[in-house]
């Protein structure tokens, strides 16, 4: 090294730099703007700008990317039946985009670079225009790079044409997100180098001895054996945690909670949206029952619960009726219990509710490893009465599958677990919403029976932090082809230890929750670890659509293009 | 040296374009000093390092390893390897490349093939087969386990051993089992990337190796583990 002249060194670096194209030259830069308070915009014409924005979420300043300078972006209020026109100008020095999550529209308006359009180049404006054909609670976010992590997201509220089947006196958007001062590329690189980097809830030697004390050495050893042989951790709940994240509710950190004011006797509608990059939230309002009236924007038969898990990108509308003039905490724990987002539902902004303690994290179970052993089996339910099986099987279209370096686990006996609230919420003494509780308000009795079925294995290697569908990452995969007019049944088998929120663009996912006549209509479906879940899709929109896991750091590879012809 | 460096750079460049990942498979480069420590007992003192680094993608990487010691008032001995590494199974990489040892101010080069990965029960494992120009064949095995006492206090027992088929007095290798080292280090991760530690280790030379270098010592170690 000491013999190497500086000039030669630089030549070498330049040569490698050219090939690696790590040198980025930007003609212009649009600067950094100040953060503004989040507001609501309504009408049919909208002007949005995407800017680098100076924020202070954690106590130290950082640069976010925002819509109209707001973290979160402005809430867009549309009316069902309207034509909306949205001009989006990109003032970042990299390409950007806005995707309207869960909105049914022509594919060219869907906002996914490389699939719907070319993206919005720096300094350019793209005009989205489409007819609003639905109502309810939705959201929007960037589909470029990791911009969703750094703030490009906001809520969409669509007022229905017809009267809603429920009433309320007041409403709030309650949008949950996760913010980090670390650059997303830094987070991702760390995960690639050490996938447990952010996990501070790993098994310790003490945990093992506690189990020995509880069950005896042999039992404890047997319980660990499978996990140890498979080199998997039952504490692997979230890839990115409160170690780096501050969890936000409507842009507010827990230190200065979001305030939702109400007057005594009012019914309050809360529009929960999980706009996080990587975080599942378990939401409850201690002291209040939540009446769930809509899931992913679609009305459901009302169901009263204490707690709801929101997978990334899911939305739920609930109505609460606070009886006393007091303050209630809107408490949204991260699934791994490494932190929470907080709101204060109160009659007086100076009165704050008592904040509950975080729950103890629960470990994953053998069921989460796809080894069966679910409650249903325990109860010795005869398999032939499985209400989740199709009455009359349909042909299965085989798709390419690759087991290899990128796949560590194979669910040997994946079960339908619609009534399983999921890890962390099991037997917690509260009434927790499960998918089995969801029944669409509209009848689906006359919906077309599926023509065929495809099975998608959600696959990965946590140790190497590789993710894929059917063992094949997006860039090596052929598109999934649907025929216009057909009805396809899609079954996920989750061959990983993670929950994956799967989002199919452009087409509704009618989830089989056990009642054939009331399939619930969703845009994002959680596939629980080691489980199986099925839904049906009426292929009623031509074009090219994105289809992916909505965990931001899984998305690039756990992704497919869907082509409808 | 200059040429070697430029060749390496060229190789890295070619590799990154030939085996370039796409999508989520990003190019990454990282360096880890698993150990950088001072070893001492009543008789001996030495500085010891055990480091590695790589540049590459999910499947294809270029790895280097460097392990060595500099005993007090003696020259440094080291074992260094540069290898192409390919993931062949979910938890295993095969590595092929060259090795260069330095001992008693002399050098010896090897062709190296190694298997590295995570064995069942979470044993960090690396077994390297070395083939010398003179027909000497060496085997070097490292086995390491991480026991979390708390989320940040981590005990790492480690076993390493070396064996050769031929005597090479000049390098200090003897035929048969040559060395066995058993140690345990207790580190505290101030950050994931930075952890000071203390530990204890016992190392013994066997067979002819013992004749060339009669080492049988128990010593304390203290140092830092870091990566970036």
Residues of B in contact with A410 (CB under 8 A): none
> Are B17 and A19 inside 8 Å of each other by CB?
yes
Name the residue among A34, A24, A150, A143 with its Cα closest to residue A93: A24
* Alpha carbon of A534: minimum distance to chain B alpha carbons (Å): 27
**What is the rounded CA–CA span in Å between residue A471 and residue B6?**
37
Three-state SS for B221?
strand
Could you give the ipTM of this predicted complex?
Answer: 0.92
> Are B9 and A13 inside 8 Å of each other by CB?
yes
Do A407 and B90 touch, CB atoms closer than 8 A?
yes
User: Which residues numbered 389-408 in A keep a CB inside 8 Å of some CB on B?
Assistant: 404-408
Do A257 and A344 touch, CB atoms closer than 8 A?
yes
Three-state SS for A362?
coil
Torsion angles phi and psi, residue A189, rounded to 5: -65, -40
Nearest beta carbon to residue A205 from set B27, B120, B148: B148
B112 pLDDT more than 50: yes
Tokens representing A341 are 């987002």
| B18 located within any domain | no
Tens of each residue's pLDDT in chain A, 565 residues:
344 444 443 444 344 444 444 344 444 678 999 999 999 999 999 999 999 999 999 999 999 999 999 999 999 999 999 999 999 999 999 999 999 999 999 999 999 999 999 999 999 999 999 999 999 999 999 999 999 999 999 999 999 999 999 999 999 999 999 999 999 999 999 999 999 999 999 999 999 999 899 989 998 898 888 888 889 899 999 999 999 999 999 999 999 999 999 999 999 999 999 999 999 999 999 999 999 999 999 999 999 999 999 999 999 999 999 987 789 999 999 999 999 999 999 999 999 999 999 999 999 998 898 886 554 444 544 444 577 888 899 999 999 999 999 999 999 999 999 999 999 999 999 999 999 999 999 999 999 999 999 999 999 999 999 999 999 999 999 999 999 999 999 999 999 999 999 999 999 999 999 999 999 999 999 999 999 999 999 999 999 999 999 999 999 999 999 999 9
Paired residues of B126 in beta bridges: B116, B142
- Mean pLDDT score across all residues of chain B: 92
CA dihedral B40, B44, B47, B49 (to 10 degrees): -80
Do A234 and A364 touch, CB atoms closer than 8 A?
yes
B8 pLDDT more than 80: no
User: Which residues numbered 526-565 in A keep a CB inside 8 Å of some CB on B?
Assistant: 553-557, 559
Q: pTM for this one?
A: 0.92
E runs forming strands in A204-265 = 245-249, 258-261
What's residue A385's pLDDT?
Answer: 54
| B107 located within any domain | yes
Q: Locate tokens 């589909």: which residue?
A: A143
* Alpha carbon of B28: minimum distance to chain A alpha carbons (Å): 7
Q: What is the CATH number of the domain that holds B49?
A: 2.40.160.40
Nearest beta carbon to residue A4 from set B5, B23, B122: B5
**What is the rounded CA–CA span in Å between residue B113 and residue B138?**
11
From the candidates B15, B20, B90, B186, which should be mutated to test the interface with A, based on the most A CB atoms within 10 A? B90
Name the residue among A471, A472, A470, A479 with its Cα closest to residue A505: A479
Residues of B in contact with A9 (CB under 8 A): 5
Residues of B in contact with A8 (CB under 8 A): 2, 6
* Alpha carbon of B112: minimum distance to chain A alpha carbons (Å): 23
Angle at alpha carbon of residue A404, lines to A402 and A405, rounded to 5°: 135
> Are A228 and B150 inside 8 Å of each other by CB?
no
Number of domains chain B is built from: 1
Residues of A in contact with B88 (CB under 8 A): 405
Paired residues of A507 in beta bridges: none
B60: nearest CA partner in chain A: A405
A463: nearest CA partner in chain B: B91
Peptide bond into A72 cis (omega under 30): yes
Q: For B139-194, how does the pLDDT look when each residue is reduced to its tens digit (9 = 90+)?
A: 999 999 999 999 999 999 999 999 999 999 999 999 999 999 999 999 999 999 99
Tokens representing A213 are 């004390």
Residues of B in contact with A232 (CB under 8 A): none
Angle at alpha carbon of residue A472, lines to A397 and A117, rounded to 5°: 90
Tokens representing A444 are 């689906």
Asked if A189 has any chain B CB less than 8 Å from its own CB, the reply is: yes
Residue B75 vs residues A385, B159, B198, B219: alpha-carbon distances, Å: 76, 25, 25, 20
B124: nearest CA partner in chain A: A231
> Are A467 and B24 inside 8 Å of each other by CB?
yes
* Alpha carbon of B86: minimum distance to chain A alpha carbons (Å): 10
What's residue B1's pLDDT?
Answer: 45
Q: What is the distance of C-alpha B71 from the center of its chain?
A: 18
Residues of B in contact with A475 (CB under 8 A): 22-23, 25
Asked if A200 has any chain B CB less than 8 Å from its own CB, the reply is: yes
* Alpha carbon of A376: minimum distance to chain B alpha carbons (Å): 31
> Are B120 and A229 inside 8 Å of each other by CB?
yes
Nearest beta carbon to residue B148 from set A1, A13, A203: A203
Residue A220 vs residues A201, A215, A510, B65: alpha-carbon distances, Å: 19, 6, 42, 38
Residues of A in contact with B118 (CB under 8 A): 231, 463
**What is the rounded CA–CA span in Å between residue B26 and residue B57?**
6
Tokens representing A214 are 């509880």
Three-state SS for A29?
coil
Residues of B in contact with A201 (CB under 8 A): 151
User: Which residues numbered 50-69 in B keep a CB inside 8 Å of some CB on A?
Assistant: 58-59
Through-space distance between the first and last CA atoms of chain A, rounded to whole angstroms: 59
**What is the rounded CA–CA span in Å between residue B90 and residue A463?**
8
| B14 located within any domain | no
What's residue A222's pLDDT?
Answer: 87
Residue B180 belongs to domain spanning: 27-227
Three-state SS letters, A477-524: CCCEEECCCCEEEEEEEECCCCCEEEEECCCCEEECCCCHHHCEEECE
A194: nearest CA partner in chain B: B192
The set of residues, in sequence order, having a beta carbon less than 8 Å from that of A345 and lying 6+ positions away, is: A260, A262, A268, A285, A288, A320, A322, A327, A328, A329, A330, A353
| B125 located within any domain | yes
What's residue A372's pLDDT?
Answer: 66
> Are B5 and A12 inside 8 Å of each other by CB?
yes
Portion of chain B with pLDDT greater than 90, in percent: 87
Residues of A in contact with B16 (CB under 8 A): 16, 19-20
> Are A4 and B1 inside 8 Å of each other by CB?
yes
């Amino acid at each position: 090294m000491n013999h190497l002249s500086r000039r030669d060194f630089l030549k070498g670096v330049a040569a490698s730099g050219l090939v690696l194209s790590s040198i980025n030259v930007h003609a212009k830069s649009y600067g950094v703007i100040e953060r503004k308070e989040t507001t609501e915009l309504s009408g049919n014409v909208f002007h949005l700008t995407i800017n680098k924005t100076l924020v202070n979420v954690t106590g130290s300043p950082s640069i976010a990317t925002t819509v109209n300078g707001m973290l979160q972006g402005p809430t867009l209020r549309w009316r069902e039946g309207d034509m909306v026109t949205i001009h989006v100008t990109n003032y970042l020095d990299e390409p950007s985009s806005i995707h309207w999550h869960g909105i049914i529209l022509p594919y060219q308006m869907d906002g996914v670079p490389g699939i719907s359009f070319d993206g919005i180049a720096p300094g350019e404006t793209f005009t989205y225009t489409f007819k609003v054909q639905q109502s309810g609670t939705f959201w929007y976010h960037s589909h470029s790079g990791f911009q969703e992590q750094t703030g490009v997201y906001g809520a969409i509220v669509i007022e229905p044409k017809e009267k809603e089947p429920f009433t309320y006196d007041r409403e709030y958007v309650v949008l949950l997100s996760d913010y980090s001062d670390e650059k997303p590329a830094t987070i991702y690189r760390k995960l690639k180098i050490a996938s447990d980097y952010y996990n501070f809830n790993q098994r310790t030697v003490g945990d093992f001895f506690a189990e020995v004390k509880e069950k005896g050495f042999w039992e404890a050893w047997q319980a660990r054996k499978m996990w140890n042989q498979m080199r998997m951790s039952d504490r692997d709940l979230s890839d990115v945690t409160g170690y780096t994240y501050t969890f936000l509710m409507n842009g507010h950190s827990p230190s200065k909670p979001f305030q939702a004011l109400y007057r005594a006797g009012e019914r309050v509608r809360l529009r929960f949206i999980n706009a996080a990059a990587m975080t599942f939230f378990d939401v409850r309002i201690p002291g209040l029952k939540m009446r769930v009236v809509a899931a992913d924007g679609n009305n459901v038969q009302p169901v009263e619960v204490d707690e709801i898990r929101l997978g990334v990108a899911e939305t739920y509308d609930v109505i609460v009726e606070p009886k006393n003039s007091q303050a209630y905490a809107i408490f949204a724990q991260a699934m791994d219990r490494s932190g929470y987002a907080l709101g204060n539902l109160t009659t007086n902004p100076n009165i704050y509710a008592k904040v509950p303690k975080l729950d103890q994290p629960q470990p994953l179970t053998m069921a989460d490893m796809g080894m069966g052993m679910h409650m249903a089996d325990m109860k010795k339910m005869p398999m032939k009465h499985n209400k989740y099986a199709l009455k009359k099987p349909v042909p299965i279209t085989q798709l390419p599958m690759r087991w290899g370096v990128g796949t560590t686990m194979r669910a040997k006996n994946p079960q339908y677990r619609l009534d399983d609230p999921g890890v962390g919420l099991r037997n917690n003494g509260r009434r927790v919403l499960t998918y089995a509780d969801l029944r669409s308000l509209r009848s689906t009795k006359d919906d077309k029976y599926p023509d065929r079925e495809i099975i998608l294995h959600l696959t990965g290697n946590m140790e190497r932090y590789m993710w894929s569908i059917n063992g094949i990452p997006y860039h090596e995969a052929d598109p999934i082809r649907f025929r216009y007019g057909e009805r396809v049944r899609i079954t996920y088998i989750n061959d990983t230890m993670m929950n994956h929120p799967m989002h199919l663009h452009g087409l509704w996912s009618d989830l089989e929750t056990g009642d054939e006549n009331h399939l619930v209509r969703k845009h994002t479906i959680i596939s629980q670890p080691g489980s199986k879940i099925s839904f049906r899709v009426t292929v009623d929109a031509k074009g090219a659509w994105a289809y992916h896991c909505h965990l931001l750091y899984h998305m690039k590879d756990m992704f497919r293009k869907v082509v409808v012809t | 040296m200059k040429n070697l460096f430029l060749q390496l750079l060229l190789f890295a460049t070619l590799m990154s374009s030939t085996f370039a990942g796409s999508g989520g498979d990003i190019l990454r480069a990282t360096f880890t000093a698993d150990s950088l420590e001072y070893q001492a007992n009543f008789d001996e003192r030495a500085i010891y390092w055990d480091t590695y680094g790589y540049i590459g993608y999910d499947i294809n990487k270029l790895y280097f390893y460097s392990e060595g010691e500099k005993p007090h008032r003696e020259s440094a001995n080291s074992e260094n390897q540069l290898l192409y590494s390919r993931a062949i199974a979910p938890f295993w990489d095969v590595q092929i490349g060259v090795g260069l040892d330095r001992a008693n101010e002399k050098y010896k080069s090897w062709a190296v093939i190694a298997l590295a990965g995570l064995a069942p029960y979470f044993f960090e494992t690396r077994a390297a087969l070395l083939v010398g120009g003179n027909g000497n064949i060496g085997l070097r095995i490292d086995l390491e386990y991480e026991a979390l006492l708390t989320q940040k206090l981590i005990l790492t027992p480690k076993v390493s051993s070396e064996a050769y088929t031929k005597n090479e007095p000049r390098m200090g290798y003897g035929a048969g089992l040559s060395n066995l080292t058993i140690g345990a280090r207790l580190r505290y991760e101030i950050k994931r990337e930075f952890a000071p530690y203390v530990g204890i280790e016992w190392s013994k030379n066997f067979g002819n190796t013992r004749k060339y270098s009669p080492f049988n010592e128990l010593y304390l170690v203290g140092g830092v583990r870091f990566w970036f």
